[in-house]
Amino acid sequence: MVSPFPGMDPYLETAPFWGELHRLLMAALQESLSAALADRYRTRTNTRQYGTRVVLFTSVTHETRTEPVIEIHTRTDPRTVTIIDIVSPGNKTSAEGRAAYLATRLAGLRGGANLVEVDLILDGKPTLDYDRSGLPDWNYAVTVTRAGAPDRHEIYTATLNRPLPKFRLPLLADHRDVLVDLQAAFTKAYEAGGFESRVDYKVDPAVPLTDSDREWLRDLLKQHSLRS
């Protein structure tokens, strides 16, 4: 089943879908990289954990969140060459999630790794703080930070009504970048999760949207016969 959206599906940002999409998208990215990395590199999934407060009506509970992170290594050296991190809603909306995300990023920088942030979350505060003046408006972004220039960022963007970007994945300095098709990986994850039959497209998604984006979304869903 193909998503009605040309890029990211904003309905999948929230529970109960995000955790499954996160896992499936990581798996799709790893699969696409396996052939491209050939015999020089290998990928593995690491995880980070953090506790967070969850407020539901008048009750407060504490949950442990576990989030996957892709690490790329050479086959002869255990040091991490590149980290691919998909930002979660918790990383952008809770102090604990943000701190855990930034700790992963700092450890990667200190270890000399390239960093790739994939941000498909509309809600919350951006995890990376850099000057956005002169850049186009966007809803989603991939930010690449190379180990040799940790203060510079390569930014690949997409809007709600456009496909997710392709981006250049850095490896060791003397090896050529690998081009990654994020939209293809998302489509594979969407189909694997069977989300089209599980999402209620008759209501608006519980994420912040501009009035124009909300109108566009409703028209799109009508075109796909998912709204009356």
- Express each pLDDT in 31-83 by its tens digit: 999 888 978 999 999 999 999 877 666 777 888 999 999 999 999 988 999 99
**152, pLDDT greater than 80:** yes
Structural domain contains residue 1? no
Instruction: Classify residue 4: in a domain, yes or no.
Output: no
What distance in Å separates the CA atoms of residue 58 and residue 65, rounded to the nearest whole number? 21
Number of domains comprising the chain: 1
C-beta neighbour count of 44 within 10 angstroms = 11
Q: What is the pLDDT of residue 116?
A: 98
Tell me, what's the pLDDT at 56? 65
Q: How high is the pLDDT of residue 113?
A: 98
User: How confident is the model at residue 55, as a pLDDT?
Assistant: 67
Residue 228 included in any domain: no
Q: Over 80: is that where the pLDDT of 1 sits?
A: no
Tell me, yes or no, whether 133 lies in a domain.
yes
Question: Is residue 22, in this structure, part of any structural domain at all?
Answer: yes
Does a structural domain hold residue 119?
A: yes
Task: Assess if residue 65 is contained within a domain.
Answer: yes
In a domain, 99, yes or no: yes
Residue 185 belongs to what domain range? Answer: 10-223
